[in-house]
């Protein structure tokens, strides 16, 4: 009996899990190929929600999708692991040892063969080599890091309560992640105050630093201005044209000589591919370490390797590192990889269709933009339309992965859970 061809997908983010699910429903269900997903975590979260996990305003298990459960119901396989190198000549991906939280080696280093390899390993914030950032700043690029920040945030908040002193937090990066995190942390404090037994909550002093002339540079200037005004109204200090030159255990230094004292320092600026791409057996990379691909998402150096989402770069038509782009690219490969694998048909170019963007500042306000530049949200009902739109994108993601019935049941479970659990993480 002939061995089934192996499609190996590395990375279980928006793109990777969507592709594994769709290919599992077609090739996997029909026994035409073996679909394997590799990720260093055991569960998936929607990356645009990471700032909510960091603030503690998202904690429900329904907001995480178990890779193992998804694999068993959608006809693909899942293995925990982290890619460390490629052997392109023999079509093998090398995985490093998988360790428990205590550091014990659970799985030794392994190699996995593939007929097609799809890299969807996402991106990280880029510290640009700024001194002290790696040692003294926190990142929220994945669920582990977001939960790690939340643990530190809650402990420092407890100290501030006990000492009756402010809690200083500095966030570097005025894009969607940094801006939304600043608002979400204030929302978390407002919710904590509901459970404080009458004690006045400590003052939260958040400074948002953006190196460019305005925050939310991907949005029209009207949105940037309105968002800054909203953040300042809830107590966030917004500083633009503020270049960070260094970080230490007590705060940040700016290029103009200013010091920003901060107990917690979060780096949410810049985008680069994970460092491991440099170990991908000579694949051509962009200056940010992203894998150079043709418009059809095929590597420029190897026809058996595809890359999508934040870790890929199309030189002729660079795309923003957003969940919208990653999702469309996953759908494209899900449509065309079966014919490429079965008949050797060329995968056509992936055409990105911009459907606009939405930013939601907690429960305070929100805005969206349509492809033509039309702005909606803000003003009336504090941007309720935009905030609901942001929520609907997440619900669409749930339904796509779970299917209609399970997706609707998951949404219902979320609403029931909201009546039972605290609305912010307290322990």
Q: How far apart are CA 227 and CA 220, in angstroms?
A: 11
Q: Beta partners for 138?
A: 266
Nearest Cα to 394, choosing from 59, 46, 20? 46
- Residue 381: which pLDDT band, with cuts at 50, 70 and 90? low
- What residues pair up with 39 in beta bridges, in sequence order? 80
Neighbour-count burial of 9, counting CB atoms closer than 10 A to its CB (0-12 exposed, 13-18 middle, 19+ buried): buried
pLDDT, tens digit, for every residue of 247-275?
A: 999 999 999 999 999 999 999 999 999 99
Same fold, 6-123+273-343 and 125-271: yes
- The SS3 of residue 289 is coil
CATH of 6-123+273-343, one of 1.20.120.1630, 1.10.3720.10, 3.50.50.60, 3.90.1150.10: 3.50.50.60
The domains of the chain are located at 6-123+273-343, 125-271, 355-421
CA distance 356 to 265: 31
Span of 127-136, 343-352, 364-373 with lowest mean pLDDT = 364-373
Please determine, for residue 34, whether its predicted confidence score (pLDDT) is greater than 90.
yes
- Contact partners, residue 398, CB within 8 Å, separation at least 6: 407, 410, 411
Q: 247 forms bridges with which residues in the sheet?
A: 252
Predicted local distance difference test score (pLDDT) of residue 420: 60
pLDDT digits (tens, 9 = 90+) for 272-284: 999 999 999 999 9
Q: Look over the chain and give the mean of its residue pLDDT values, rounded to a whole number.
A: 90
pLDDT digits (tens, 9 = 90+) for 131-183: 999 999 999 998 889 999 999 999 998 898 888 899 999 999 999 999 999 99
Q: Are 208 and 178 in contact (CB under 8 A)?
A: yes
Provide the pairing of β-strand 291-292 with 305-307: unpaired
Segment holding 23, helix H or strand E:
helix 14-23
pLDDT at 196 over 80: no
Contacts of 88 (CB under 8 A, 6+ apart): 281, 282, 283, 302, 304, 305
Contact yes or no for 57/183 (Cβ under 8 A): no
Task: Write the pLDDT tens digit of every residue in 205-215.
Answer: 999 999 999 99
Q: Which fold has domain 125-271?
A: FAD/NAD(P)-binding domain (3.50.50)
- Global pTM reads 0.89
């Amino acid at each position: 009996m002939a061995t089934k061809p192996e499609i190996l997908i590395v990375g279980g983010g928006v793109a990777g899990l969507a592709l594994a699910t769709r290919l599992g429903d077609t090739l996997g269900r029909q026994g035409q190929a073996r679909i394997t997903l590799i990720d260093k975590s055991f569960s998936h979260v929607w990356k645009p929600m990471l700032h909510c996990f960091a603030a503690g305003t998202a904690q429900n298990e329904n907001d995480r999708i178990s890779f193992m459960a998804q694999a068993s119901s959608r006809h693909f396989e899942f293995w925990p692991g982290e890619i460390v190198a490629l052997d392109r000549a023999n079509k093998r991906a090398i995985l490093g040892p998988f360790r428990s939280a205590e550091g014990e080696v659970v799985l030794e280093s392994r190699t996995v063969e593939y007929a097609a390899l799809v890299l969807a390993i996402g991106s990280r914030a880029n510290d640009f080599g700024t001194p002290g950032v790696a040692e003294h700043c926190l990142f929220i690029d994945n669920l582990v890091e977001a939960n790690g920040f939340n643990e530190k945030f809650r402990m420092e908040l407890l100290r501030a309560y006990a000492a009756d002193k402010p809690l200083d937090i500095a966030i570097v990066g005025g894009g969607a992640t940094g801006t939304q995190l600043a608002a979400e942390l204030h929302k978390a404090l407002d919710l904590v105050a509901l459970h404080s037994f009458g004690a006045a909550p400590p003052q939260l002093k958040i400074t948002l630093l953006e190196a460019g002339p305005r925050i939310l540079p991907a949005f029209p200037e009207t949105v940037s201005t309105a968002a800054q005004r909203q953040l300042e109204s809830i107590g966030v200090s917004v500083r633009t044209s503020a270049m960070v030159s260094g970080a230490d255990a007590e705060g940040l230094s700016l290029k103009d000589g200013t010091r920003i004292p901060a107990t917690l320092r979060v780096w949410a600026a810049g985008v680069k591919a994970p460092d491991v791409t440099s170990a991908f057996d000579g694949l051509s990379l962009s200056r940010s370490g992203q894998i150079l691909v043709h418009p059809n998402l095929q590597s420029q150096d190897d026809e058996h390797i595809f890359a999508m989402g934040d870790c890929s770069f199309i030189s002729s038509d660079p795309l923003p590192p957003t969940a919208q782009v990653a999702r469309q690219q996953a759908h494209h490969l899900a449509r065309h990889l079966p014919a490429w694998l079965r008949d050797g048909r060329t995968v056509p170019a992936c055409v990105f269709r911009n459907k606009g963007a939405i930013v939601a500042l907690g429960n305070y306000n929100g805005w969206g933009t349509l492809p033509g530049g039309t702005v909606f949200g803000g003003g009336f009902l504090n941007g309720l339309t935009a905030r609901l739109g942001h929520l609907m994108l997440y619900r669409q993601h749930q339904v796509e992965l779970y299917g209609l019935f399970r997706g609707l049941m998951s949404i219902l479970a979320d609403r029931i859970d909201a009546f039972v659990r605290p609305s912010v993480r307290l322990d």
